[in-house]
Amino acid sequence: MFGFGRKAAEMPEAKASATGRVAAMGSAGRAVWSSRDTGTLTRMGFTSNPVGFRAVKLIAEAAAAVPLICADADGRMDVHPVLSLLARPNGVQGQADFLEALFGQFLLSGNAFVEAVGAGGLPDELHVLRSDRMSVVPGDDGWPVAYDYTVGGRKHRFAVGEVSPVCHMRSFHPQDDHYGLSPLQAAATAIDVHNAASRWSKGLLDNAARPSGAIVNAGEDLTQEQFDRLSIELETQHQGARNAGRPMLLDGGLDWKPMGFSPSDMEFQKTKEAAAREIATAFGVPPMMLGIPGDATYANYVEANRAFYRLTVLPLVSKVAGALAHWLGCHGGAQVSLNVDRDRLPALQSERDSEWARIATADFLTAEEKRRMLGLAPVGEG
C-alpha cells in the first residue's frame, strides 16, 4: 500500500517518443511506387541504364576516396583502432572496396546496413549487407527491435539490444518511418523514359536505321501463303544492321512507299537527353561530368567538379561517417568522430589554400585559435 509521501519517482523510468505508438500503427513496409521496389529499380536504373550506372559509380568511388580524420574529445588522432578497422574491415575487402559498397547501397536504395562481427567491444570485422534483403522489425513503441535478413527463403534475425549489431543509415523520406528515399525512386520516371528511348533507338537500328514504310499492292490481293512468304523475306533479308542498304526486289504489282520521320521522331533524341539530365540531377551529379550535352550551368569542368564535391560527395560522406563513428563508439565504449580531411582533398585544394592564407594573416588570432579553426590539434603546453 502506497503512502502519501511515495510518488511516481519509485515507478520504473521509461523513455519513449510520444509519437512512437502512433507511428507503429502505420505500415512497416517500404513506401514504393508500382514496380518500384529496390530490386527492380536497381536493374532498370543501374544495371540497365548507363546514366544511372555512371552517376552511382562516380559518387560512390569519389566518396570512398575521401580521406577521413578520427578524433575524440582531446583532438585528432593519427592512430586509432577505428582507423585500423576501417583500413581492413574484413578478410576480403579493403577500405576502398568496403566504403564503395556502403555508399553504393545507400545511393541505390536510400538505406545502408553494416553488420558488426565480434564477441564484444569494438567489432573484429565489418560487412556491408544488401539493403534489398533487409527489413526492419518495429516494436510496440515504433523503434526497430530487430532486423531480418532474407536470402533464398532463409531468414536470419539480428536482435537489437543495448548496442545494435546492425548500423542502419538512411536518407530522408517524408512518408516512411523506417526506410530512406533513394535517388532512383525520385528519378524513376526519367529512367523509364531514357530506357524506352534506348529501346526505340535499338529498334530503329534493327530496321536498317531508317523509318519503316509500306508495301502497296496495286494488283490482285495476296493469298495467305504469299503474304507469309513476303513477311518472312522482309524479316530475314531486309531487317537488321547487316542488311542495311540491300535492294528490295518486288513483283506482282507490289510497290514500296517509304515513310519519312515525323516531327516527334526528330525530337526524340532531345527527349532522351532531357531524361538523362533529370537522372543526373536526382543524384546530384552535374550533367557536364557525365558527358550529357546541352548543360551550361557551370563555366568549366573544374567548377562543376568542385560543386559536385561540395554539394553531393561531402554531405554524403559526413552523414554516413557520422553515423558509423557513433555506432562504432557505442561498441568500443568511447565516442569518436570521423571527419573529412579537407587538406588532402584535391577538388577543394584552391578553396582550402585561400582559407589557410586568410586565417594565417589574421593578426588578432592566437596560434592555438588558428589551429582550431583549421581543424588541427592543439600544440599543447610547452
* pLDDT for position 185: 92
* pLDDT for position 124: 93
* pLDDT for position 253: 63
Residues 6+ apart with CB under 8 A from 297: 286, 287, 288, 304
Which pairs with CB-CB distance under 8 Å and at least 24 residues apart come from 46-51?
46/108, 46/184, 48/195, 49/191, 49/194, 49/195, 49/279, 51/194, 51/276, 51/279, 51/280, 51/290, 51/292
Residues 327/328/330/331 CA torsion (nearest 10 deg) = 130
Return d(Cα 156, Cα 147) in angstroms, integer.
8
Residues 347/351/319/128 CA torsion (nearest 10 deg) = 20
Q: Which of 208, 339, 204, 334 is nearest to 272 (CA)?
A: 204
Residue 206 grid cell: 534493327
Q: DSSP secondary structure string, 126-185?
A: EEEEPGGGEEEEE-TTSSEEEEEEEETTEEEEEE--SS-SEEEEE---TT-SS-PPPHHH
* pLDDT for position 239: 61
Contact 191/279 with Cβ under 8 angstroms?
A: yes
Return d(Cα 32, Cα 37) in angstroms, integer.
6
Question: H/E element holding 257?
Answer: strand 254-258
* pLDDT for position 29: 45
Q: Is the dihedral of CA 264, 267, 268, 272 positive or negative?
A: negative
Q: pLDDT tens digits, the chain, 382 residues: what are they?
A: 444 444 444 545 555 555 445 544 444 444 333 467 888 899 999 999 999 999 999 999 999 999 998 988 777 788 889 999 999 999 999 999 999 999 999 999 999 999 999 887 899 999 999 999 999 999 888 889 999 999 988 999 999 988 999 999 999 999 999 999 999 999 999 999 898 888 877 776 776 555 456 666 656 666 777 777 777 776 776 665 555 555 666 666 666 666 555 555 556 778 889 999 999 999 999 998 998 887 767 778 888 888 999 999 999 999 999 999 999 999 988 888 999 988 888 877 777 777 778 888 888 888 878 777 776 666 764 4
Q: DSSP secondary structure string, 98-135?
A: HHHHHHHHHHHHSEEEEEEESSSSS-SEEEEEPGGGEE
* pLDDT for position 366: 84
DSSP 242: G
Q: DSSP secondary structure string, 308-345?
A: HIIIIIHHHHHHHHHHHHHHHHHHHTS--EEEE-GGG-
Question: H/E element holding 256?
Answer: strand 254-258
Report how far apart, in Å, the C-alpha atoms of 264 and of each of 187, 195, 196, 200, 350 are. Answer: 23, 17, 14, 13, 46
Question: H/E element holding 71?
Answer: strand 68-72
Q: pTM for the whole thing?
A: 0.77
Bridge pairing between strands 213-217 and 166-170: unpaired
Residue 275 grid cell: 531524361
Domains of the chain by residue range: 18-195+277-340, 196-276, 349-382
* pLDDT for position 214: 63
* pLDDT for position 117: 92
